[in-house]
Amino acid sequence: MRWRSETETTDAMFGTGHEEASYAAGWAISGVITLAAIAAVWMLGI
């Protein structure tokens, strides 16, 4: 990510580009894996 200037225009999606989308996807995948690990421990009693 880079800092944006006040004078710089943003796109219609409030500056969400490829970088931000991959960042959000990474966090989503990480969250799903964490929840799956918690569910596995709970169900299997490990």
Please state whether the predicted TM-score (pTM) of the whole model is above 0.95: no
Which distant-in-sequence residues (6+ apart) come within 8 Å of 20 by Cβ? Answer: 1
- Using CA atoms, how far apart are residues 10 and 14, in angstroms rounded to an integer? 6
CA distances from 15 to 19, 25, 28, 29 (A): 10, 16, 19, 22
- Using CA atoms, how far apart are residues 34 and 19, in angstroms rounded to an integer? 23
User: What ranges do the domains of the chain cover?
Assistant: 19-46
pLDDT in tens, the chain (46 residues): 566 666 655 555 555 557 888 899 999 999 999 999 999 999 998 6
> Could you tell me the two tokens for 3?
């800092």
